[in-house]
Chains A and B, each alone.
Chain A
Amino acid sequence: MKSGVQGFHGERLRQAREALGLRVASLADMLGVSRQSVSQYETGESLPGPEVFDRLVTHLRQEPQFFLRPTVEFELTPHFFRSMASATKSARRRAEARLTWFREIGLRVSEDIEFPRVDFPDFAASNKNPRLVPLAEVEAFAVETRRYWKLGEGPIANLVDVAESRGAVILRHDLDSAALDGVSQWAKPEGIPLIVLNSQKRVSARSRLDLAHELGHMILHRHVAHSELEDDEVFEQIETQAFRFAAALLLPERPFLEDLYSISLDALRSLKAKWKVSIAMMIERLKGLEIINADEHRKLRINYNARKWTRVEPFDNELPIEEPQLISRAIRLLVRNNGRSLDQIASDTGIARHWIEQILDTPADPTDDKVRLRLVESKKPNAVFG
C-alpha cells in the first residue's frame, strides 16, 4: 500500500489545479514539493502526506472530501470555445475544469429538481463532416431553428430565456481570462447543452452573440467527435459555421434587410436598439450576405474605428445583460423548499461551497417564471441530468 492520504484521487488534483489556471511548477512552489511530486500525485503514482494534503486543500480552495471522491466519469465530448487567438491553453483547461464542476453540481441538483426537457433541433446534417456543410446550409439551419423554436422572424427579446426554456443550462461565470468569451459542451450521456459565458464580458449585444455562437456549436456540431477538432482546418471551419449560424439566428436575412434603410453606420446604429446586436456584427452580417463588398466593408470598418466604437458602441451601456436563471433558481428552490443547505450540496458533490455561491451570484429575477422547475420525489438523477 502506498504511504500518504489514503483514498486520494490524483485526477481531482489536476482538475482543481487547472480550474485555478495553475502550472505544475507554481503549485509545487506553493506546496513546497518538487514538480515531479505534483505530477506523481496527479497520475496516482504516489500520494501526498497529511501536511501536503492540508496545504493542497488551502491553496486550491477546496474541501478535503473533494480530493477523496473520484471524478464523475463523463463521456468525452468536445468543448467548444468562443475565444480569441490569444486565449492560452491554460485558460481553456481552466474553463473546461470549471464547466465540469458546474456539471457535477447540476447533476446533484437534478436529483431533486426537474429541469425543462431538452428540445434542441437535431439536424441530420449535424452527423456530417463539418467540412461538407456549406455556409448556405448553415444559414438554412438557423432559419429552421427559429421555426423549430417558434421564434418568428423578428428580434429575439431574450436569447438566454429562449435557450434555457429549451433545456440549455447556462451560467455566467468569470473565466479569469479576457480572451475567452465562452465555452460549451454537449453533456453526454445526460444529453444537455451546457454553456458558460464569461462574466467579464459585460456588454449585452456582444454576449448575445457569444451565446448564439455557442448555440450554433450545440446545434450544428452536436455529433462532432473530440478527435475531429484536433484538425486545424476543421476547427477553423466549425468556428466559421458557428459564427454564421449566430449571425443568421440573431439577424435573419429578410427582416433585417427590410429594416435597413442605408449602408451606413447611422442606419446600423438605429437598428441596434431593436435587434440588440452589435453594430460590428451587423457589418459582418452584411458582408456575409454579400450586400457589401470588401471595399465597402473596409470603409465601414474605418469609419467604425474612427468613431471609437471598438471600445464602446452606442447603447452598450443601456441594453441590459441577459442573466441566466435556471440553475441558480434550481439551487434556490432546493435550499428553500427541500431544506438543503449550501454546505450539504457542497458535501454531496465534494465541490467547495464558494463555487456553488458563484452560481448563485446571478441576480435573481423575481418575475422570471417562464421556465418551470419543480421538485421531484426521486433521489436518483432524473431523465434530463442522467
Chain B
Amino acid sequence: MKVTNEAFFNDHVPEKIQRAILSMIYDACRNASEHCYGRFSSKGVAKDVSGHYRRGLIEDQWIGMKGLFPELAIAPVSYKRNTGTYHEITSGLVKITESCTYHPDELPREAEFRMTLATSGQRALAFDDEPEDESAQPRFMYAVLTYGIASSDKRSRPWFVRVQFLNDFCTEYVDRGIDLISKFPDVVSIYTQSADVSGDVKERPRWGKRKSA
C-alpha cells in the first residue's frame, strides 16, 4: 500500500519538531512585528521590512533548532548568483525549505533551488498513479513549509502554517499538505491567549512613541 505524503513526513519529522516549527513561526511573526512596528515610524515601511526581518529570524532559528534536536541537519546554501542564502533542513528522509505566501493554495515563487529539490532525487509522491514499492524508494521527500501573515494586529501572527508537497515541476501542490495550526491547537493557544499565560504580559517598547513622518 502506498504511504501517504503526510504519513511519510510524520515518520521522518518527529512531532516535537513539527510543534517546534509552528512555535518558531509564531514567535518570529510576533518578534518581527514588535521590532519593526516599534522601530519604524511609517507603518508602510514597517510592513515592508517586517517580512525581511521575519525571514531572518526564521533562518536564524533553524540553527538553534539543530542544537535542540540533533536529528535535524541544517545546511546553509547560497543562491546560485550568491545573492543570499537559505537553510536546507533535513530530518530523516525529508528536506524542508520555508516560504511565505499570501494564500495556502499559492505556490512559492519560482526558484531554481526549489526546482532542483523537487526534481532531483525526490521520491515518487503519493499522487502518482503507479503503485510504488516502498522498499525501492531510497530518495528523500521535499516539503515546503509555507506560512502566510494575517494583516491585522501589525502582522504579528500567521494565518496559516502548512507543510506542502510540490510536484516535480513545482507547478502545483500534490495534495492539501499538513495544516500545522489545526494539528497543534495547544501550541497556537500559547501565542494567541489573551490572558494568564503569556498574552497577559507584553513588553513595553523601550523607545518613546515616534511622531509619524
Contact = CB atoms under 8 A, between A and B. Distances in A.
Interface of A: 257-264, 266-267, 269-270, 273-274, 291-292, 296, 314-315, 317-319
Contacts, number: 68
B204 A262 contact: no
Interface of B: 16, 19-21, 23-24, 27-28, 30-31, 57, 60-65, 67-68, 190, 197-198, 200-204
B202 A267 contact: no
A266 B190 contact: no
A262 B24 CA distance: 8
B67 to A, nearest CB: 4
B68 A260 contact: yes
Contact of B31 (A258, A260, A266, A292): A266
| A interface SS class | loop
A274 B30 CA distance: 15
A291 B70 CA distance: 10
A269 B201 CA distance: 12
A262 B68 contact: yes
A273 B198 contact: yes
The DSSP consensus for interface residues of chain B is: helix
Given A261-B19, A266-B61, A274 B68 contact: no
A260 B201 CA distance: 18
Contact of B190 (A264, A274, A296, A317): A274
Contact of B68 (A263, A270, A317, A318): A263
A267 B63 CA distance: 12
A261 B24 CA distance: 6
B213 to A, nearest CB: 27
Q: Which of A262, A264, A296 has the most CB of B within 10 A?
A: A262
Nearest to A155: B197
A314 B205 CA distance: 10
Nearest to B196: A157
Given A270-B31, A291-B67, A296-B67, 8 more contacts: A260-B20, A261-B20, A262-B20, A262-B61, A267-B23, A269-B31, A270-B23, A315-B203
